[in-house]
Amino acid sequence: MSRGHVQIRDRDPKSQEEQELEREREELRKQLHYGHMEEYKELVGSYPNSPVLARKFAGAPPDEPYENDSYTGISDDSDIDNLKPRKQHWANKMQFVLACIGYSVGLGNVWRFPYLAYKSGGGVFLVPYFIILLICGIPMLFMELAVGQYTGRGPIGALGQLCPLFKGTGLASVVVSFLMSTYYSVIIAYAIYYFFTSFRPDLPWTDCSHRWNTPDCWVPERLKHNISRPEMSRTPTEEFFENKVLQISHGIEYPGGMRWELVACLICAWILVYFAIWKSIKSSAKVRYLTATLPFVLIIVFLGRSLTLEGADKGLNYFFRPNWSELGRANVWINAAAQNFNSIGIGFGSMISFASYNKYNNNILHDTLAVSFVNGITSLLVGIFAFATIGNIALEQNTTVEDVISGGPGLIFVVYPQALAKMPAAQMWAVLFFFMLLCLGLNSQFAIVEVVVTSIQDGFPRWIKLQASLP
């Protein structure tokens, strides 16, 4: 056929694209079921078909944050991944602030801060601590809260929405939180064990007359015998913790038996966590009205009681006598930064998860300042309480503060109980103290586990049905 007889049929290059776009719009309407809302009509009408529109589309609407049905996010080839509004929000700002404060003020403030202050020159540690809090802690906390509130997602989805490469960072924070929950629950189990043991008529860590005590057990009696602590001696609180509670074996080749009392306490700890978060923030927010407020009352009570102890001035002089030469050591600043990030919870994903339940227009600047201020002041008050108590023990044992203080759980399960045993109404003070530790531990555990739960809910929303909005 000659070239002049060839008939060229005109094709509309946009017709096929328009048909495909209409099909995608209809599918989106079926998935969202929000076609009657003006915001979604505008959203569907401005469906992104170019990189410029896609970047514009990535911003959240002004009223509510939205979340995707999976961690795939918005991509050029997958279009829109079933955007849904967050079904749960905090009932009020107080619930959100209490959740953040309860997480930031935990067991680390009670045992880690005093020990790091001791290692870093006493009161001089407060200088780098508050400097790093101002220039690093507060800005990073604000950033995490902003990311969570803007995206309405947990750490994996939130960071992945900012940049797909950051999903690994969010996943790492969830994994770290999961690993933390495994050992944090053990500390809570110890607190539960001590809490119930404190109801006994005679506290079992006051003397050396029990079957778990050894010939090296030594009870400080300064009023009767003004002698220093023998070199190889062990206090009743040390032997109770190591020989009775933990039943530490002589070596790794001797695994020892199962501690069924601690197993029961561990199960009890996880049951408390389960019933506190089984309806997500709807249930945990109500629990925090008790667990996040009562510890502060008890901290004030113990602070006042510790200041009246004999020898408290000895510990306070050590705490507030600054050794300015320590500021030249890098380890002091490293310890201050580590304590700030560990206490506030930077990098663990909990703050992102908490903020994801906020309303989109919530003012998080005030929340950030409130959480940071309460955390810093609490650390200072706990430091005063700790060193006043340690000064009393140092006087009883006729030794120095350096010989008394210890790091880790030993400070709260060995040093503090020794001081409580010397107080009038020792059982009452012991019950209050270990109940305070239990509340502090549970607050942090709630937040740690909620990171994992929120991430699972964000990743598999079709399998996990969330409850309705908070009343």
Q: What is the pLDDT of residue 81?
A: 39
311 appears as a binding residue in the annotation: no
**What's this model's pTM, rounded to 2 decimal places?**
0.78
Q: What is the pLDDT of residue 24?
A: 65
Report the sign of the C-alpha dihedral through residues 194, 450, 340, 156, in that order: positive
Alpha helices in 312-396 (DSSP H): 312-320, 330-344, 350-355, 364-396
- Residue labelled with tokens 């305070």: 436
Residue closest to 295 by CA, chosen among 108, 432, 119? 432
371 appears as a binding residue in the annotation: no
Q: Coil, helix or strand for 79?
A: strand
Q: Coil, helix or strand for 359?
A: coil
105 appears as a binding residue in the annotation: yes
Q: Residues 317, 390: contact at Cβ < 8 Å?
A: no
Q: Residues 239, 414: contact at Cβ < 8 Å?
A: no
β-sheet bridge partners, residue 85: 66
- Which residue type sits at 162? L
Q: Coil, helix or strand for 428?
A: helix
Tens of pLDDT, residue by residue over 308-351, are 998 899 899 988 887 888 888 999 999 999 999 999 999 899 99
Q: Residues 247, 260: contact at Cβ < 8 Å?
A: no
**Measured in Å, how far apart are the chain's first and last C-alpha atoms?**
78
Q: What are phi and psi of 152, to 5 degrees?
A: 65, 30
Q: Residues 362, 146: contact at Cβ < 8 Å?
A: no
102 appears as a binding residue in the annotation: yes
Work out the average pLDDT over 88-111.
90
- pLDDT band for position 141 (50/70/90)? very high
Q: What is the pLDDT of residue 229?
A: 65
All domains of the chain in start order, with CATH = 93-459 (1.10.4160)
78 appears as a binding residue in the annotation: no
Cα 2 to chain centroid distance, Å, stands at 81
Q: Residues 60, 440: contact at Cβ < 8 Å?
A: no
Residue 51 has pLDDT above 80, yes or no: no
Instruction: Extract the tokens encoding 261.
Output: 């009392």
- pLDDT band for position 360 (50/70/90)? confident
Tens of pLDDT, residue by residue over 214-243, are 888 888 765 445 566 666 778 898 889 988
343 appears as a binding residue in the annotation: yes
Instruction: Extract the tokens encoding 254.
Output: 């001797």
Contacts of 79 (CB under 8 A, 6+ apart): 24, 47
Residue closest to 371 by CA, chosen among 91, 98, 108, 106? 98
Mean model confidence pLDDT for the chain: 80
Q: Residues 229, 398: contact at Cβ < 8 Å?
A: yes
Work out the average pLDDT over 189-194.
96
Range with lowest mean pLDDT among 15-19, 96-100, 210-214: 15-19
- Give 167-173 contacts, CB < 8 A, sequence gap 24+: 167/71, 170/349, 170/352, 170/455, 173/347, 173/348, 173/349, 173/352, 173/451
375 appears as a binding residue in the annotation: yes
